[in-house]
Structure 1
Amino acid sequence: MHNVETYMKTKHDLANQLQLLDAYFTLGQQDKAERLSKNIIAKFRDEQQFLKLNCPKSIQYYVDTTLDERLFEWSFEIELLTSAIGNYDEILKAFIQTCIMDYKNRVDTKSLVTISLFETDDEIECIFALTGNIKDTSDVLSSCTIVNDEIIEYKLEIRK
């Protein structure tokens, strides 16, 4: 049954985007159609960068959360020099999981989660940010770098 639900949710989301695109074309709003089209393509491209990483546990957690928790929209910024992230998959998954569990207590409307992964010679930096209508900014985790009613950001530095 889970596969059927997953399939239906995915088709529903895609159908909504295509209907909006069709409406823009029908109304002659080519500029809006073009912006939406570029936005959809960019989202797919950015997600693919994350899904191609050598971190199967983190990817599995992301996929499960995306399918089970409709509370978050996701975006990605991936700038890794090597495939070293695979060596830290368990750490990355635990960090993502901790942030998502924390975020679920702080929002009640759909919010945007951005995962940013950057690499230098010495470390991999993971920044996890929640933007949206944040109802609770108290008792944040020690890895929190920014907190207000519009954004909460956590940072993890993994020494290589």
Structure 2
Amino acid sequence: MALAHIKLAVYQPQHRQALCAYRLPENQLPFAYQPYQWLSEPLASELAINAHLCAVTVLADGQPVGFFVLDNGALCLNHQRQPGAVLLRSLSINPAYQGQGIAKAAVAAHRLDAVVRQHDPDSQRLILGVNRCNTVARDLYLAAGFYDTGVYINGVAGAQHIFQRKFA
């Protein structure tokens, strides 16, 4: 199957139904909030009023198939501000579309960095936490040019490696 045309767009209310309809498989649940969790109360109110948060939809051939949140807030990571950094949170792809290269296309530097800079023009790098057990995500981010900083934090589902990628 040919890879769909992938685009990242700031979340729009018309994306809600498709994003809230999918549920991640049990083995992925510990690693990310699902879109319906972000788009339901109380997180939906937080997204609406917090200028540090930006919800992003992954579109495949114009259809919402994935979701993540960008966060450049004061509590960016492990309750410490990371100057110049934007935190990538809760990337997920609808299970019906997984395995087609959509996540890889979504985190490709030319695509992801553009939407990050739209959210925070002064940003210098992306950071994220990858659970040590989530080898699929680890491999995805390494292939997209992120590197493991060697810093670890305790997350809800255990130890997380802190990855980052600086902008060119």
TM-score, L = length of structure 1: 0.33
Higher relative contact order (CA 8 A, sep 6+): 2
TM-score, L = length of structure 2: 0.32
More strand as a share of residues: 2
Compare CA radii of gyration and give the structure with the larger one. Answer: 1
More helix as a share of residues: 1
